[in-house]
Structure 1
Amino acid sequence: MELQDNVELCFPQLLNSSCRKPTLHWTEAVLLNICLAFISLITVVLNLLVIISVSHFRQLHTPTNILLLSLAVSDFLVGLLLMPFEILRTSSCWVLGDLLCSLYYYSSFIITSASIGDMVLISVDRYVAICYPLHYPTRVTLRRVKLSVCLCWFFSVLYSSIILKDDLKQPCQYNFCYGECVLMMDYSAKVLDLIVTFIGPVTVIVVLYMRVFVVAVSHARAMRLQVINVTHQLSMATTRRKSELKAARTLGVLVGVFLICFCPYYCVSLTEDNTLSSFFVSLVFYLLYCNSCVNPVIYAMFYPWFRKAVRLIITLQILQPGSCEINIL
C-alpha cells in the first residue's frame, strides 16, 4: 500500500480506474522530448522545402517529382501530426479523449501506408526510366502519375479503415485505464499488416532495385567496351555509368533505410511479449517515423535542383514575379 500511495495518478479523482503517470525522471523526460521535438521539426522543415520547391517551380513539374511531392506530403504530415501526438502519448497522460486517440492511430496507418506506397511508385518510376528509357515518356505521363498518387492515397484510407474497423466502431476499447492511448490488434491483423505494408513493398522494391542495378552495370560495361579507343566517347560513357549507378545506389539506400526503420516495429508488433516497456515501444514508433525525416534527404538532397531551390526559397526570391519560370535544372 505504501508503494501505491506514492504513485501519482493521471486522474486522482478516479482512484480505481486511473492510469499512473509516466515514471521517467524529469531530466530524462525533458531531454527525450527536446530530442524528439527536434526530429519532428526537422522532418516538417525538410519536407516542406520539397513541397514548396516542386509546387512552385514549373520546370520541376515532372512525373518523378510529382511522386516526390506526394511522398513529401505524407512525410510532412508525419512530422506535423504523428510525432507531436506520440510525444504527448509517451511523456504524459493522454487527456485528449478516446476519439482523438482512435483518430491518431487511424491517421498513422493512413499516412504511413501512403508513404510506403509512394516509395514503391518511385521505385517503379526509376525502373522504367533506366530499363526502358525509350518508352519512358509514353508510359510514364503526368496524368498517369497523378492518377497513381490519388489511387495510392485512396487505397491507404481503404486499407486503414478495414484493418482498424473494430477500433473505429468502438474507440479505444482496449484501454485498461483512464489516461492511456493504446491500440490492440489480433494476430491475424498483424500478419496482414506485415504482408501489406512491409513484405509486399520490400519485395517489389528489392526486385526492381536488383533489375535496375543489373541493367545499369551492363549498360555501362557495354558502352565502355564500345568506346575503349575513343577518349571523348569514353568520357561520356563514364558520365553515363556514374549517373546510372547513382540511381541504383539511391534505390539501395532506400531499401536499407526502409528496412532499418520498419524491421524493429514489425518485430515488436508480432511478438506477444507484454513485458516490453512502453518507453521501448515508443522508441520503435519513433524509429518508424524517422523514415519520414530521412526520405527527403534520399530523394531530394542528392539532386542539385533541390539545393538551388532551397537557396531561392530562403532568400525569398520565389516571391518575385515570374519566379516560377526560373531555370532550376
Structure 2
Amino acid sequence: MVSLAFAIVVGNVVTLTVFMQTRQVRTPQGYLKVSLAIADMMVGVLVVPFSVYTEISLMVTSSSPVWYQGGTDPSMGGLVGPWQPCMLIGPVFAGCTFVSISTIFLMTVERCVAILWPLHKDHLVTRRRTLFLILFSWAGSYLLALAPLILSNNFTLEYSECSRMCNYVPLWDGVTLPSDANILLLFPVFDFTLLGGTLVFNILSFTSIRRYTRKRKLMSEGNVGVEGGGGGCQHRPSFSDIKAAKTISILTFAFTASFTPIAVCVGNVVGFTWCNFSFVAFWILTGNSCCNVIIYSVRDQRFRKGVTLLFQREHSPTHGEKGGATPPTHLVTTTPPP
C-alpha cells in the first residue's frame, strides 16, 4: 500500500508539473489531462494513506480503531461515535472514480470532434466550455458519490476488513435488507453508461481515421488525384489528433479493465460477501491511478520530452555554477572582418 501511494503521488505530480510547464495545459485536452491527474492524485494522498494508517494501527495495537467495524457487528450500524473518517474517505474515493471516467469520456468526445471536424474543432471545443464541463463533472461526480447518504437513511460508510477501504454498506438487522438497497446500483450504471458512450465515440473516431488512412494510401498509389477524391485531403485530421485519439482509447481500455471487477461486487448489495475478490477488485481500481503517467510516457512523445526537460532543469543550476564563466553557446557571436 505504501509503494502504491508513493507511485500514485509521484507519477501524478510529475504529470501535473509537465503539463503546467508546457503549452499542452493551455489547450482543452491539457485541461482534461490535468483534471484526470488531480483526481488520481487525491486517491494517493487521501484514500491509500488512510488504509495504510488503519492497517498499521491494527498490527501494532491490541484494540481496533474506533472506525474499524469490518461488518462484524451489523446491529451497531457499522459505525460508532459522532464522526468517522470513512465519511470523508469513502465519498472521496467514489467521487474520484466518477471524475476519472467522466473526464475520460470528455477527452474521447474532444478527440472525436477533432477527428471528424478538424476545421471546426477550435470553435466547437473552446477552453471556456472545457473548463465548464470539468467543473460540472466534478460537481456531478461528488453528488453521485454522496447519493446513498442524500437519498436514504439506510446506508452508512465503514472500513471493510475485506477490501481494506471505506465502503458503503446498507444498515440491516441480518435478516432483511432495506427496501432501497439497490441505490448502490447507481454507481455501476453511471460508469458503464459513460464507458459505453466512450466506446461509441471511439468507434466513430477510428472509423474516420481508417477511412482517411485508406484514402491517403490510394492517393500515394496514384489511384486518385492529389487534390481530388471528394475533397477530403484539406479536411484531414492532424497526426497529433490521430495519435491522441489512440492514446485516449488505451486510457479507456485500462480504466474499463480496472473498473469491471468492482461491478461484480454489487453482489454485496443483496447480502453476498466475496472477501478475497473484493480486496483484489478494489485495489486493482486503485492501482489504475498510477497507470496514466505510464501510458503518457509510452505514447506521448511531447510528454517524454517534457519529463526529460524537467529533470534536466533540476540538474542545470549545479552545472551552471560549476562553469559559470563560460557563456551559453547560443549567445556567443563572432565579429565579421572589416
Distance 1:137 1:318 in 2: 38
Q: Secondary structure of 2:169's partner?
A: coil
User: How much has 1:241 moved relative to structure 2?
Assistant: 9.1
Does 2:95 match 1:110?
yes
CA gap of 1:87–1:264, structure 2 versus 1, over 3 A, is farther
2:20 — aligned with what?
A: 55
Indicate if the aligned counterparts of 1:67 and 1:118 stay in contact, CA closer than 8 A.
yes
Match for 1:126: what amino acid?
R
Distance 1:150 1:249 in 2: 25
Q: Which structure's relative contact order is higher, taking Cα pairs within 8 Å and 6+ residues apart?
A: 1
Kindly report which structure 2 residues correspond to 1:23-102, keeping only aligned pairs within 5 A, or say none.
Answer: 36-58=1-23, 60-89=25-54, 93=58, 95=65, 97=67, 98-102=83-87
Indicate if the aligned counterparts of 2:209 and 2:242 stay in contact, CA closer than 8 A.
yes
Match for 1:303: what amino acid?
D
2:213 — aligned with what?
A: 220
CA gap of 1:172–1:246, structure 2 versus 1, over 3 A, is closer
Q: For residues 24-46 of structure 1, what are the alpha-carbon distances to aligned partners after superposition, in whole Å with 9 as ceiling and x for unaligned?
A: xxxxxxxxxxxx32222111111
Structure with higher helix content: 1
Does 2:187 match 1:193?
yes
CA gap of 1:200–1:254, structure 2 versus 1, over 3 A, is same
Structure 1 length-normalised TM: 0.72
User: How much has 1:275 moved relative to structure 2?
Assistant: 4.4
Q: For residues 33-86 of structure 1, what are the alpha-carbon distances to aligned partners after superposition, in whole Å with 9 as ceiling and x for unaligned?
A: xxx322221111111111111223346411111110000110111122112223
Distance 2:152 2:98 in 1: 18
Distance 1:144 1:318 in 2: 39
User: How much has 1:181 moved relative to structure 2?
Assistant: 5.4
Match for 2:84: what amino acid?
L
User: How much has 1:249 moved relative to structure 2?
Assistant: 3.4
Match for 2:117: what amino acid?
Y
Q: Pick from 122, 125, 130 the counterpart of residue 145 of structure 1.
A: 130
Between the aligned residues of both structures, percent identity stands at: 26
User: How much has 1:89 moved relative to structure 2?
Assistant: 4.6
Distance 1:91 1:189 in 2: 33
Match for 1:306: what amino acid?
F
CA gap of 1:202–1:314, structure 2 versus 1, over 3 A, is same
Q: Secondary structure of 1:121's partner?
A: helix
Distance 1:84 1:168 in 2: 29
Gaps of 5+ in 2: 59-63, 68-82, 171-179, 227-232, 318-338
Kindly report which structure 2 residues correspond to 1:276-291, keeping only aligned pairs within 5 A, or say none.
Answer: 276-277=274-275, 279-291=276-288
User: How much has 1:259 moved relative to structure 2?
Assistant: 2.1
Distance 2:165 2:105 in 1: 35
Indicate if the aligned counterparts of 1:99 and 1:171 stay in contact, CA closer than 8 A.
no
Distance 1:129 1:240 in 2: 7
Q: For residues 218-262 of structure 1, what are the alpha-carbon distances to aligned partners after superposition, in whole Å with 9 as ceiling and x for unaligned?
A: 0111122123239xx8xxx9x989766644532432332122101
CA gap of 1:150–1:248, structure 2 versus 1, over 3 A, is closer
Match for 1:195: what amino acid?
V
Structure 2 length-normalised TM: 0.71
Does 2:195 match 1:202?
yes
Q: Secondary structure of 1:184's partner?
A: strand
Structure (1 or 2) with the larger CA radius of gyration: 2
Indicate if the aligned counterparts of 1:131 and 1:215 stay in contact, CA closer than 8 A.
yes
